[in-house]
Chain A
Amino acid sequence: MVKHLFKLIWNKKKQNFLLFSEIFVSFLVIFGVFTFGVYAYKNYMAPMNFEYEDVWVISYTNPLKTENTDSLELFYSTVKQNIKAVPGVIEASYQSANFPFSMSMMTGNIKANGRDINPVNIYDIDDDYAKVLNAKMVEGRWYNKSDAVNNKVIVINKKLKETIFGSGSAVGKYVDGENAKDGKRIIGVVEDLKTEGDYQTVGYGAYRRLDTAGFKWIGTMLVKVKPGADAAFEGRLYKTMANSLKNSNVEIEHLNNKLTSKNKFTLVPLIILSIVAAFLIINVALGLFGVLWYNINKRRGEIGLRRAIGATGDSVSWQLVGESLILATFSLLIGSFFAVQFPLLNVFDLPAIVYVISILLAVIFIYLLVLICALYPGKQAANIYPAVALHEE
């Protein structure tokens, strides 16, 4: 019977072309939505690898005009001590503007093992950054005061380490040069910190220890506070910062609020795309339904004949559903051919598994859609009275 249906569909290829095209285009759109969704979900399921609850960001403008870096370092060390001295503050760390869930980014490249990795997110931080975020080390250690005398050291994230060094150890190896003279020695590998939000992937990361000159342009401090810190506490923190930095604009934000804002950058396009796709699907469903309904009315004579020569109502119904599913299979085969080009050509630099899952989901979705749209017209076809249908012709 399947062969018979294939033959019937093939011989009616001109009539079926519109339906074929409709299913094909729908598949590609659904594939796109699923790819976006699966990618976001996969990222969402990945661990954050740091704690952002009760971490606040103090942004400030640098009020000092001095060019003396030692004076700058001394001044900002004092500011940090003042902040840490506020009751309720657990830890504090300076960081470049690309703090977690910010809209800023700073990228560069890292050369090692004959490879040039680009882009790498560069974070300028101080010795307390890992403590503020409770970031875990995969190997080696985080920065400490002993690194002040030798600034040719670096901490990288796990993803960068695995790309450059594979599963082997990275501590003690060099990047951006092959020895102590030219390169930077890796002292630690930190977990992949998902600092771009719940739905974004972790990129390559390199953490540089702030040197004395860095304070000229640093304007952010991360502060870990005790749970339950309230507005009164925030007021005290603000006053302390404002008093420490005269003539500076100070602003305090909470990382969990920043995360919510950041997530919207992924969710809003996904929701818009889903709404557009939903309208398309409704149109396709109505189109499929209409075409199948029309086909059944056009084929009443054939349906009557099939009943006369031995088809049951159910077999007529399933034949029509089967035809729709076979037609969908043709569309899905062509659609899948185009869809697999995305991982093969690495079009958007997404993991291949995201595309594979999206193709499978889109195939299942289209089959379900076609099945649902074909079931009712199929059922109606089964109810066609053969004597009447044969007489109409």
Chain B
Amino acid sequence: MISLQNIEKVYRTDTIQTLALNNISLDVAKGEFLSIMGPSGCGKSTLLNIMGLLDAPSKGSVRIDSQQTNSLGDKQLAAFRNKKLGFIFQSYHLINDLQVLDNVELPLLYRDTTAKQRRELAAQALEKVGLSNRMKHFPTQLSGGQRQRVAIARAIVGRPEIILADEPTGNLDSVMGNEIMDILTGLNQNEGTTIVMVTHDENMARKTHRLVRLFDGSQVQ
């Protein structure tokens, strides 16, 4: 589903250059639930951003669903992200000025859908994460766990084949973290969604199919 070949990422400034990822090759199978672990600054998020086409590698190739992505332009990349990928972030990235339902609808705004279709799909996504009763609330009126569930609903509303989660339980206590993991596991098992999750939590990582460890930008496991 996702194939990374010899990925290298170098950040350059005027005076120094930092090697964030060094020769990473990784294949993620369709329907797989993969977790990426490693200490802070080891390149986990960079790797996830490259998988999510939010960042371009300095070297190497990214192939998603058999599509070579290196040569895609801004419009094609945006369309690709919109249709194929769903993102979940540690800090949720909800728009506080929009109600929950409107937040969940966001990815559909960049597709050719009617307002009615958007409403229906967003409502269905919220139902899946158990937040049907919070549609008219604003994010600031929700707990951390609820906000992350809204973020999951937003990630799945467009029915993407891949979900990329960057420390989705990082800001939550263990109870809420487990709830989020249950939802992600359910999505993976019931709907066959491929999930790549960056985490610091060994317990959460153990619930996934496979664990990849990074250290100083290199894959160590």
Kindly identify which residue among A4, A12, A315 contacts B102, using a CB–CB cutoff of 8 Å. Answer: A4
Kindly identify which residue among A8, A307, A315, A393 contacts B91, using a CB–CB cutoff of 8 Å. Answer: A393
Say which size band chain B's interface belongs to. 20 to 34
30 contacts between A and B (CB under 8 A): A1-B109, A3-B115, A4-B102, A8-B98, A11-B98, A301-B91, A304-B93, A307-B54, A307-B78, A307-B81, A308-B52, A308-B54, A308-B81, A308-B87, A309-B81, A309-B110, A309-B158, A310-B78, A310-B79, A310-B81, A310-B83, A310-B107, A310-B110, A310-B111, A312-B74, A313-B74, A315-B110, A387-B49, A390-B93, A391-B45
Chain B residues within 8 Å of A1, by CB: 109
B97 at the interface (CB under 8 A from A): yes
Given the known A-B contacts A307-B78, A308-B81, A311-B78, are A393 and B107 also in contact in the complex, defined by CB atoms under 8 Å? no
CB–CB B110/A311 < 8 A: yes
Instruction: Report the separation of the CA atoms of residues A385 and B106 in the bound assembly, to the nearest whole angstrom.
Output: 19
| Nearest opposing residue in chain A for B46, CB measure | A387
Chain B residues within 8 Å of A304, by CB: 93
CB–CB A301/B93 < 8 A: yes
Instruction: Report the separation of the CA atoms of residues A91 and B158 in the bound assembly, to the nearest whole angstrom.
Output: 89
B116 at the interface (CB under 8 A from A): no
Chain B residues within 8 Å of A393, by CB: 89, 91, 93
Interface residues of B (CB under 8 A from A): 45-46, 49, 52, 54-55, 74-75, 78-79, 81-83, 87, 89, 91, 93, 95, 97-98, 102, 106-107, 109-111, 115, 154, 158
CB–CB B79/A12 < 8 A: no
Instruction: Report the separation of the CA atoms of residues A1 and B118 in the bound assembly, to the nearest whole angstrom.
Output: 12
User: How near does chain B come to A305, taking the closest CB pair, in angstroms?
Assistant: 4
Instruction: Report the separation of the CA atoms of residues A117 and B152 in the bound assembly, to the nearest whole angstrom.
Output: 76
User: How near does chain B come to A9, taking the closest CB pair, in angstroms?
Assistant: 9
**Centre residue among A304, A309, A312 by max chain B CB count within 10 A:** A309
**CB-CB contacts below 8 Å: A281-330 with B:** 301-302, 304-315
Instruction: Report the separation of the CA atoms of residues A302 and B81 in the bound assembly, to the nearest whole angstrom.
Output: 16
Interface residues of A (CB under 8 A from B): 1, 3-4, 7-8, 11-12, 301-302, 304-315, 385-387, 390-391, 393
Q: Give 14 new A-B contacts, CB below 8 A, not counting A308-B87, A309-B110.
A: A4-B102, A8-B95, A8-B97, A301-B93, A302-B93, A305-B89, A305-B93, A308-B52, A309-B81, A309-B158, A310-B81, A387-B55, A391-B45, A393-B89
Chain A residues within 8 Å of B107, by CB: 309-310
CB–CB B81/A390 < 8 A: no
Given the known A-B contacts A310-B81, A310-B82, A315-B110, are A387 and B93 also in contact in the complex, defined by CB atoms under 8 Å? no
